Amino acid sequence: MSYPCHSLLCMAVAELGEVEALEAQEPREPVYPSLSPSRAADFKTCPLLYRFRTIDRLPERPNPDQARGTLVHAVLERLFDLPPAERTHASATGLVTPAWERLVEGTPPLAELFAEGEREVFLASAGELLEGYFAVEDPSRLEPAERESLISAVVDERLLIRGYVDRLDVSPAGDLRVVDYKTGGAPREAFEARALFQLKFYALVLWRTRGVVPRVLRLLYLRDREICDYAPDPEELVRFERTLLALWQAIDRATAERDFRPKPSRLCDWCSHQALCPAYGGTPPPFPEPGDAAAEGRTRAGASESGTALIPQEDDRLTAGDEGEAPRSG
């Protein structure tokens, strides 16, 4: 009688032990607190909103504007998989329904957004935004270096900043252009400051990791069919870095003191948590304790790690909680 399986098992266990011992000897990467542009902007907009989203991890239902934003981002990402000559409006329109089906597969509650017949109207509205895209750019003349790319950097040796860039173009001379698609249904001026904050955030990450200040930060407003270019400079990004660090300190202090105050503004119209907000007569839930089962349950049930959280993006699409954690639905 032989015991091949047992012997193999012993070898496997022994090898596993060696691997674990080797891993134990390897120096561990330091773990830093992290901040994404969305969450940083949340805190700036309203500290209580930051708390609801990041600490309480309260789920938020998607709305059609966010879903449309996510869908259009997904289509624009895939469009560049096609050969340049095939990157036409007709091709992009043809990508809409399959992209929507993939999104619904990943996030089933999206299917409940629309009653019978409404889905077609919704998909057609995504096509109109794509028409807006083709009015301002010709994708057959572009070859993006990166799409939906996760970028991150440690600043001041104490804070990890990270996020997903819609598109990064690199010229033959090595100049970087960061491109962000805006599809928002909300008035543009309400989110303009957030959009620029987000782009400076990415510019800082790219500068710190690649040693190059992006030449252009580009916002593409698909609904308005407009391009907004912004050229950052190093001094500005140094100031921005200080601002981010100060913001992180404020978040840290608010967390230690459990003091996240509401800051009402016109952005409250897009807040899912008015019923819990003291500014609207509500009462926030008890502050989650470490190991709080309810908050952890929410995390497990669909929040940031799973990639299926229904939490609004910094402007107009769905995201996976802290967008540094997982790719957005788009």
Contact (Cβ atoms closer than 8 angstroms) between residue 283 and residue 293: no
Binding to ligand SF4 by CB under 6 A, coded x per residue (else -) over 262-301, reads xxx--xx--x-xx--x-xx---------------------
User: Least distance to ligand SF4 from the beta carbon of 53, Å?
Assistant: 9
SS3 content of the chain, % helix, strand, coil (to 5): 55, 15, 35
User: Least distance to ligand SF4 from the beta carbon of 285, Å?
Assistant: 12
User: Least distance to ligand SF4 from the beta carbon of 281, Å?
Assistant: 11
Q: Which two tokens stand for residue 27?
A: 């120096």
User: Least distance to ligand SF4 from the beta carbon of 279, Å?
Assistant: 4
Count the site residues for ligand SF4 by CB under 6 A: 14
Interactions with ligand SF4, residue window 46-65 (CB under 6 A): 46, 48-49
Contact (Cβ atoms closer than 8 angstroms) between residue 45 and residue 267: yes
Calpha distance 76→95 (Å, rounded):
9
- Which part of the chain contacts ligand SF4 (CB under 6 A), choosing from 41-49, 141-149, 302-310, 322-330? 41-49
User: Least distance to ligand SF4 from the beta carbon of 164, Å?
Assistant: 23
Q: Which is nearer to ligand SF4, 94 or 282 (CB)?
A: 282
- Which part of the chain contacts ligand SF4 (CB under 6 A), choosing from 42-50, 170-178, 183-191, 231-239? 42-50
| Listed residue (113, 135, 115) closest to 69, CA to CA | 113
Q: Which is nearer to ligand SF4, 46 or 205 (CB)?
A: 46
CA dihedral 221, 222, 227, 228 (to 10 degrees): 10
Provide the b/e sequence for 169-196 (b: ≥16 CB within 10 Å).
Answer: bbeeeeebbbbbbbbbeeebeebeebbb
How many alpha carbons lie under 13 Å from residue 321 in its C-beta half-sphere? 24
| Listed residue (182, 310, 183) closest to 321, CA to CA | 310
Interactions with ligand SF4, residue window 96-135 (CB under 6 A): none
- Which part of the chain contacts ligand SF4 (CB under 6 A), choosing from 95-103, 137-145, 151-159, 258-266? 258-266
Ramachandran angles phi, psi of 24, nearest 5°: -65, -30
41 binds ligand SF4 (CB under 6 A): no
Interface contacts to ligand SF4, rule CB under 6 A: 46, 48-49, 262-264, 267-268, 271, 273-274, 277, 279-280
